[in-house]
Structure 1
Amino acid sequence: MTMQSDLLYSETEDELRSAVRSLLSDRCEAAQVLARAESGQPHDLDLWKTLAGDMGLAGLLVPEPLGGQGASAREAAVVLEELGRFVAPVPYLTSAVIATETLLGCGTPEADELVGALASGGSIGVLALPLSTAPTASYGLVQEADGRLTGRVGAVADAAVADVLLVPTSSGLHAVDTAADGVRVTAQIPFDLTRPLAEVTLESAPGRLLTADAAAAVRRGLGAGAGLLASEQLGVADWCLTETVAYLKTRTQFNRPVGSFQSLKHRLAELWLTTVHARAAARNAADALATGSEEAELAGALAQAYCSPVAVRAAEEALQLHGGIGMTWEHPVHLYLKRAKADAIALGTAGAHHETVATLVDLQAP
C-alpha cells in the first residue's frame, strides 16, 4: 500500500520560510521593486548574491557531492512562495530550478561541473527557450554545425543577467557563455517588469556539448519548473488575499468597514477557499518532485492547471477591492497582477496543462 505524503510544512521548512521572509522584508519592499522597475534595471543582483551565495539557496536542489545543499523540491517550493509573495526580481526560477534541473538531467561530468557553479551562486544559468515553453512542447530554434551554434530565441527570461546559456539543438544540449563571440542578448519589453525577457541571437557561437540527449534533460528542467512555479503563484495569490483583507478592514464606507459588507465577504471567502486549494495542489506537486514520484508529471500539470487562474483571479480581485488606490502606479498590486498574468503563460498555459492531465489519466475529450 502506498503511503500518503504529509503535505504540511515541516519545522525545517518553516524555519527556511522565516529566514527568507525576513531577508525579503528588509531588502525587497514594494517601493524598492517599483524603483528598480522604473530604472530599467529590475534585477537585484545584490539580493541574488545574498540568497544564492550567502544563504546557499541556489543549491537547494543540488546534491552535496556536486556542491549543493542536498535539499529537495519542497524546500525550493517554500523559497518560491516567498519570492512570489514579494515579486522578487531575482533569477531563482530560471537558474536555481529550471537550469539546475536541466543540468542534473544530463548526468555528465561537464554538466556536473556547471551545476556546481550555479549551486554556489557564482554563476547564473538560463535555459535558452521562450519562457512560455511547456514541458511537452517541441523546439528547434537553434542549429548546430561543427560545434558552432546559430539561431534566435525570443522571450528568454533572465537572459540579461545570465553567465551561461543552456542551448538545446537536434545534436544535444550545449553550454554557451554569454560573453563569447557571436552571442548577443537584446532586452525585450516584458509585461512583467520584475521578470525581464530578452532575445538571444547566436551567430556561429562556440558551444560545449553537455549531453547528446537534450530532450530528456530539457523536459526534466521544464517539468520541475512548471511544478514549482505553482508555489510562486501560490505566494502571489496569498499576498493578494492577505493584503486585500487587511485593507478592507480599515477602509470605511457609511461609517462601516467595507469588509463587513456581505457581498465582499462572499468574494473574500471564495478567494480564500481557492487559495487553500491552490496550496494543496502546489504542495502536492513539490512533494511529488521531492520524492521522485511516478506521478510527478501529473501532479505538476494539475498544479499549473489550477494555480495559474487562481493567482490571476486573486490579483484581479485585489486590484478591484483596493478601489481607486489599487489603480495607481504607486500601489504594488499592479506588480502582482502582471506577475500572475505572465506566470499564467509561463511553462505552458493552464489549457495546455489540462490537456496533459487528460492525456496522463486517459480522459480525452470526445
Structure 2
Amino acid sequence: MSTAEELDALRSSVRTALSRDASWDVLCEQIGVAALAVPEQHGGLGAGLPELAVVAAEFGRVLSPLPFLSTSIAALALADSPLSGKLTTGTVAWSDFTVSGSTVDGLDRYVLDGDSAELLLVAAGSGLYAVPVDQPGVRRDHSPTMDETRRLATVELCGASAERVGDLDPPVYDQACVLVAAEEAGAMARAFEITLEYTKQRRQFGRAIGSFQAIKHRLADLYVLVETARSCVAAAAEDPSLAAVAKVHCSEAFSTVAAEMIQLHGGIGITWEHPAHRYFKRAHGSGFLLGSPREHLRTMVGSALPRAGWSTGYRC
C-alpha cells in the first residue's frame, strides 16, 4: 500500500511523461505502466488498485489513446497467472462467448484496443481464456467512434483455439469499473481546469466573465462534481464493492462538466481546434463503457432492496 507521498510521486512522474507525448514503449521502460498490475513474482511491480487509479486519472487528463486501461484490466484479470509477466498490451472481451472443448465462439463489438492488443483474453462462463490473435478463427476490426481518442474494435471468434488461464474472478469487473471511473475523474478535472482558466481570461463588459456571480455559481457546482468524483474513486479503489457508485457518479459528473465546458467557452467551445469537443465525446463514450449508469443503478438497487428486507417485485 503506497503512502500519499508515493502516490503523488507516481502521479507526477506519469504526468511529466505524458506531457512530453511519450510513446507506450517509453512509458513501459521508464515507469513500467504495463507491469504495474502484474504481481512481483511474475516480474511486475505488484501495484494495487489505488496506484492504478492514480495512473488512470493521468491518462484520462490528456485523453491519451495509449492502451493503459485495457492492458491494466487484462493484468488484473490474469491475477497470479504466469502469463501476466509477458504482458505488453492486452485486453479483455466481456461479452457472452461459448466454449466447446478447446475452441471459443462469440462476438463482442466494443473491445478496448481489441484490434491491436497482443494478448486477447475472453470471458466465457466462469472461465478466462487466452486466444492467440494470429489464427484463422479470429477476426478483429477497428470500430470507428465519435471519440477518436478511444480505440474500440469488434472481435469475432469462430472456432478459435483458446487456452483456459484461470477462473474469471468476479471482483475483476468491479476493479475495471474503478479504473474507468478514475480515468473519467482525471479527464473532468482537466476539463474544469481549462474552463476555469478561460473564465479568468475572457472579458466582457470590461470584466473577466469569471467575476460574474452567475458564472461563479456554475463553476462552484463543477468544482463540487470534480472533488466528489475524486473522493468516489479513492473510496472505490480501497473498497471495489463501491465500484458501481464510483462509475455512476463519475460518468454522470463528467458528462455535466464536459457540457458546461462547451457552454462556458461560448462559440470557441464548438470549434474543431478547441479540445472541448474531445472531452465531451470522451465523457459520453466512457459513460457507456462497462455498463451505463442506468445499468449500474439497476444492479445497485436490486442488491440493496433485499438487504433492506424489501421485495423487488410489484404488488397489485
TM-score between both structures, scaled by the size of structure 2: 0.92
Q: For 1:168, which of 120, 123, 127 is the aligned residue? A: 123
Residues paired across the two proteins, number = 309
Moved >4 Å (runs of 4+): 363-366
Corresponding residue number in structure 2 for 1:155 = 110
Q: Distance in 1 between matches of 2:5 and 2:221?
A: 29
How far 1:176 sits from its partner (Å)? 0.8
Would you say the 8 A contact 1:157–1:198 is kept in 2? yes
Identity %: 37
Q: Distance in 2 between matches of 1:168 and 1:71?
A: 23
Corresponding residue number in structure 2 for 1:20 = 14
How far 1:126 sits from its partner (Å)? 0.9
How far 1:189 sits from its partner (Å)? 1.6
Deviation sequence 1:40-64 (CA, Å, 0-9, x none)? xxxxxx6211223331122222221
1:55 partnered with 2:55: no
Corresponding residue number in structure 2 for 1:103 = 78
Corresponding residue number in structure 2 for 1:229 = 180
Letter in 2 for 1:116: G
Corresponding residue number in structure 2 for 1:209 = 164
Higher RCO (CA 8 Å, separation ≥ 6 residues): 1
Letter in 1 for 2:295: A
Would you say the 8 A contact 1:60–1:76 is kept in 2? yes
How far 1:277 sits from its partner (Å)? 1.1
Deviation sequence 1:219-261 (CA, Å, 0-9, x none)? 3322111022211111111111111010010011111111111
Corresponding residue number in structure 2 for 1:80 = 56
Letter in 1 for 2:185: L
Would you say the 8 A contact 2:115–2:155 is kept in 1? no
Q: Distance in 2 between matches of 1:167 and 1:246?
A: 44
Q: Distance in 2 between matches of 1:53 and 1:160?
A: 23
Q: For 2:132, which of 166, 173, 177 is the aligned residue? A: 177
Corresponding residue number in structure 1 for 2:274 = 331
How far 1:86 sits from its partner (Å)? 0.4
Letter in 2 for 1:127: V
SS at match of 2:86: helix
Would you say the 8 A contact 2:36–2:46 is kept in 1? yes
Corresponding residue number in structure 2 for 1:356 = 299
SS at match of 1:195: coil
Q: Distance in 2 between matches of 1:286 and 1:155?
A: 25
Would you say the 8 A contact 1:84–1:236 is kept in 2? yes
Letter in 1 for 2:14: V
Q: Distance in 2 between matches of 1:76 and 1:307?
A: 17
Deviation sequence 1:247-295 (CA, Å, 0-9, x none)? 010011111111111111100011111211111111111122xxxxxxx
Corresponding residue number in structure 2 for 1:258 = 209
Corresponding residue number in structure 2 for 1:34 = none
How far 1:360 sits from its partner (Å)? 4.0
Q: For 2:82, which of 107, 113, 123 is the aligned residue? A: 113
Would you say the 8 A contact 1:163–1:179 is kept in 2? no
Q: Distance in 2 between matches of 1:115 and 1:68?
A: 8
Change (3 A) 1:303 1:245: same
Unaligned runs of 5+ in 2: none
Q: Which range moved further: 169-178 or 60-69?
A: 169-178
Q: Distance in 2 between matches of 1:170 and 1:348?
A: 18
Would you say the 8 A contact 1:101–1:220 is kept in 2? no
SS at match of 2:99: strand
Q: Distance in 1 between matches of 2:254 and 2:148?
A: 17
TM-score between both structures, scaled by the size of structure 1: 0.80
Deviation sequence 1:139-194 (CA, Å, 0-9, x none)? 52x33333122222211111121112111224732111212222111111223211
Corresponding residue number in structure 2 for 1:69 = 45
Question: RMSD value over aligned CA atoms?
Answer: 2.0
